[in-house]
Structure 1
Amino acid sequence: MREVEVKYHVEDVEALHLALKSAGIALSPPVLQDDQAYAPEDWSYGDSKLGVSFVRLRAIEGQHTFTLKRPAENALSCDEHETAVDDPDQMHHAILAMGYRPTVRITKTRRTAVLPDMSLCVDEVDGIGTFLELERIVSPEASGVEVQAELAGFVNGLGVPASRTDEPYDALVRAAQQSR
């Protein structure tokens, strides 16, 4: 499958919640996500991400998932494969054996809403702030850039002060850690 997303750093969280409520969008209760990101041993931040497979282990309330994302058109338009993991410690060691290294840990509190043609997430990401993320699952033939433009149009229609970013959370968290 292919996941296409847009991500915005929210400048006024209260305004976001009011805009979502006005649009009839109800968010789920908050859920804590703890992600360990991994990159290939021979890849470094600053290198191109296109065509490179990145993986993560995610923990949510005692449940674990393994995800592989390979950016296709840009860092937020990715081929994606995901599966449940029974033993995260063994999966961690398997990831290392496949030639990956841990990069950053991302912890966030996520609230979601599922809309007819997209999912919406409001993420409070430790160390970097609150983000609005919209995602759509598309066929491999679909233009990720066109889908991102549609998703951005939805966000713009909310009228909330927010800044779009083209970086995934791991890059944003790493940049914040490097600036300290």
Structure 2
Amino acid sequence: MSNHFDGKYEAEIKYHLSDHSAFLSQLSTMHAEPFVVNNEETDWFFDTPQTHLADGNVSMSVRTMTPSGIKLWIVKGPAASECKAINIDDDKHVRNMLETLGYRCTMTLTKTRSVWFLGDIHITLDHINGAGWFAEFAIMTHDETKLTGYREQLREKAAEFGLTDDMIEKQSYKQLVSAMQKNNGAES
């Protein structure tokens, strides 16, 4: 995998898009380098039955990406910018191991994802059924002191795409989907 994903910390800003086609055109105009296009990503989120991870602001998931074939074990938190991921060979085996250790799958989330590189930044275009289109601008680092400067750099690059602070989505995809599921349950 690219060194774009090497680091313990991630400076990231996510935007809710109103026009993903215009965003794609802008990526092309800026000569962004495609990494994966239209992958289907499935994340299985795990926690203890007592929700120890969520209570500690930690998220643990196993991710598969098709057709790229990338499989990851991801831990985010407890700090908002902390993100660790390792490549795995057998996602089913890892999920089984987590269940053997007492974790349970609390949510499965599937999205369509494309990733481009533009200089040091990786730009992700995601679609989640029912939630819409999102663009994430991110830089990974091992140096936590660089996060503030990187966030400003990301904000400036996003502005070149016409994205503004009022378009920032502060919730994680897991939080968005969980809220959608609760709302759909309330309507039933």
| TM-score bin (small chain) | 0.7 to 0.9
Aligned to 1:36: 44
Contact 1:68/1:81 (8 A) holds in 2? yes
Offset at residue 164 of structure 1 (A): 0.9
How many residues are treated as equivalent by the alignment?
A: 175
- In 2, Cα distance between the equivalents of 1:94 and 1:45? 17
1:10 aligns with 2:14: no
TM-score of the two chains, using structure 2 as the length reference: 0.77
Pairwise CA RMSD of aligned residues? 2.7
Q: Which residue of 29, 32, 43 corresponds with 1:25?
A: 32
Q: Label 1:113 to 1:150 Cα distance change in 2 as closer, same or farther (>3 A).
A: same
Tell me how far apart the structure 1 counterparts of residues 32 and 70 of structure 2 sit (CA, whole Å): 28
Q: 1:82 aligned to 2:89?
A: no
Greater percentage in helix: 2
Structure 2 match to 1:111: 114
Specify the code of the residue in structure 2 equivalent to 1:164: I
Helix, strand or coil for the counterpart of 2:16? Answer: strand
CA–CA distance in structure 2, aligned partners of residues 104 and 15 of structure 1: 32
1:58 aligned residue: 64
* Structure 1 unpaired stretches of 5+: none
**Structure 1 contact 3–137 (Cα < 8 Å) conserved:** yes
TM-score, normalised to structure 1's length?
Answer: 0.80
| 1:130 paired residue number | 133
Relative distance call for 1:134 and 1:110 in structure 2 (3 A) is: same
Tell me the distance in 2 between the aligned counterparts of 1:141 and 1:62: 30
Q: Would you say the 8 A contact 1:41–1:100 is kept in 2?
A: yes
Question: Of Structure 1 and Structure 2, which has the larger fraction of its residues in strand?
Answer: 1
Question: Equivalents in 2 of 1:140, 1:96: separation in Å?
Answer: 33
| Structure 2, unpaired ranges of 5+ | 1-6
User: What is residue 179 of structure 1 aligned with on the other side?
Assistant: 183
CA distance in 2, matches of 1:47, 1:78: 16
- Contact kept in structure 2, 1:11 and 1:163, CA below 8 Å: no
Aligned-pair CA distance for 1:10: 0.6
For residues 49 and 101 of structure 2, what CA distance do their matches in structure 1 show? 9
Moved more, 63-72 or 126-135: 63-72
Structure 1 outlier segments of 4+, above 6 Å: none
CA distance in structure 2 between the aligned counterparts of 1:175 and 1:123, rounded to whole angstroms: 18
**Distance of 1:123 and 1:72 partners within structure 2:** 24
Change (3 A) 1:139 1:104: same
